[in-house]
Amino acid sequence: MKYRSTRGGVSGISFTDALLMGLADDGGLLIPDHIPDVSSRLQDWRNLNFVQVAQRLLKLFIDDLEHDDLDALTSEAFSSFDIPEVVAWKQLDQLHVLELFHGPTLAFKDVALQLLGKLFEHVLADRGETLNILGATSGDTGSAAIAGIAGMENIKIFILYPKGRISSLQELQMTTVPDTNVQCISVNGTFDDCQRIMKSIFSDLDFKEAYSLGAINSVNWARVLAQVIYYAYASLQKENTSVDFVVPTGNFGNIFAGFIAKKMGFPVGRLLVATNENDILDRFFKTGEYSLGEVFRTNSPAMDIQVASNFERFLFYYFDEDAERLRGFMEEFARSGKASVVGPLSSDIFLSCSISQPDTEETIAEINSKYDYVIDPHTAVGIRAARSIVTDNPIVCISTAHPAKFPDALGRAIGHRPTHARLSGLSDLQERKQEVSADESEVKKIIQNSSASI
């Protein structure tokens, strides 16, 4: 399997080179040169557990690591979860909730980032190289990435996050990590500012090479690949039917993984893009226009995003893999903040829905009252959006985070603040962070000053 860029300037590279490159050197996003077809294997895979599905799926995309090594890395990555099954299910009448938050940082990002950390460590050790990982987070990516990398000798990680725009517990999960290879950077701006700075730094190819920069956000193909696993596994749990998925999403990486699973031939039906008031994706699927709007602060902060960086991969396939057309669209969006296709888009695969903050809190309260089940605000957005689907297929809502990560929002909605042992005592620990303005040069200086000793 070889990898190429959505913008056509990079092609024919191996998986491990794609892993370390992160963002493609031409500014695009890396994708496989073809999507494997698994339709003939589904019956054989139905009785496999989560880790076994992961091991078989990953080998279809990774052919430059020894299979035994890849199996061992995969098994080790998922051994860090609180339950041996890795994921858990909750039945709410006709709706199935897939809990992905049983990893070290209580967020769905752990599914991918525990594996990515193992892959980075193995590949770098094999090559005798070092890496500086630069990432941006709107909430959970940062702590999950740090948990996957902290303490590794040949990697430093720099995480940008928007000051005051993630939950206090999400921030503490990052800033209280004592390992010296971890740097947390609080940016006076929005997540979109953090993401813009990150992408701009990666686009400076001389700087990227000089400081051996790698990516752990979903711009890294390996991150998306790891997320395909849970769509594959979940879709196989229902015999003789396709499964519709409802996905709370801001940066489009999570739901794009479901799109890849569908293209592979797994029994994935339709995919519902569930957003909060930051509704750029909902507007696109309903009108065909991808246009910037105001970033609203909500109680589901991981979706407080206007520029969905992973959306470019979907557009590449929507444009029938026409890199030139994709480049034109992205250049128009960069220039004017708006670009369009003929819309609305077909509902054969994607549906979309935007949920308000009052409706989110009402859903949290309703689910708690009716089922004695506590959900986080992002999952609440998905569950509320699921009501808009008319289908004969089973519906699975992706549950992205443990509710204890959002005590203030839960306190308002249900009158008490859920807790978790992994989060207790964080406020008593010493924090380490650096605050900067939304200025690329300030972030570059931190990388330069911190990387001399790697």
CATH of the domain at 392: 3.40.50.1100
- Model pLDDT, residue 166: 87
Q: How distant is the alpha carbon of residue 267 from its chain centre? A: 22
Note whether residue 37 is domain-resident: no
- Model pLDDT, residue 452: 55
- Model pLDDT, residue 454: 44
Adjacency order of strands within the sheet including 95-99? 88-92, 95-99, 395-399, 243-248, 268-275, 350-354
Helix (H) or strand (E) holding 183: strand 182-188
DSSP summary character for residue 212: T
- Number of domains, the chain: 1
Note whether residue 25 is domain-resident: no
Query: What's the angle, vertex CA 232, arms to CA 228 and CA 237, rounded to 5?
Result: 150
Mean pLDDT by 10 residues, the chain (454 residues): 97 97 94 97 95 98 97 97 97 96 96 96 95 89 93 94 90 95 96 92 94 90 97 94 94 94 97 95 93 90 86 95 96 95 80 96 97 97 94 95 94 95 92 96 95 55
Report how far apart, in Å, the C-alpha atoms of 336 and of each of 102, 152, 197, 284, 291 are. 41, 42, 18, 16, 9
- Model pLDDT, residue 453: 46
CA dist 98 and 386 (Å) reads: 13
Note whether residue 6 is domain-resident: no
Specify whether the CB–CB gap between 249 and 273 falls below 8 A.
Answer: yes
Q: In terms of C-beta density within 10 A (0-12 exposed, 13-18 middle, 19 or more buried), how is residue 276 classed? A: buried
**Could you report the per-residue pLDDT of 22-80, keeping only the tens digit for each?**
999 999 999 999 999 999 999 999 999 999 999 999 999 999 999 999 999 999 999 99
Note whether residue 419 is domain-resident: no
CA dist 354 and 443 (Å) reads: 33
CA dist 105 and 117 (Å) reads: 14
Residue 294: which domain range?
88-106+222-414
Note whether residue 373 is domain-resident: yes
User: What DSSP letter does each residue of 23-90 carry, written as one string?
Assistant: B-TTSSBEEESS----GGGHHHHTT--HHHHHHHHHHHH--SS-HHHHHHHHHHHHTTSSSTTSSEEE
- Quick check: is 109 catalytic? yes
Note whether residue 167 is domain-resident: no
CA dist 8 and 321 (Å) reads: 10
Note whether residue 372 is domain-resident: yes
**Partners of residue 98 on adjacent β-strands:** 89, 398
Report how far apart, in Å, the C-alpha atoms of 361 and of each of 108, 306, 369, 452 are. 21, 22, 12, 47
Specify whether the CB–CB gap between 5 and 13 falls below 8 A.
Answer: no
Determine which one of 59, 90, 109, 118 is catalytic: 109
Helix (H) or strand (E) holding 446: helix 440-451
- Model pLDDT, residue 157: 96
Q: pTM higher than 0.75, yes or no?
A: yes
Note whether residue 198 is domain-resident: no
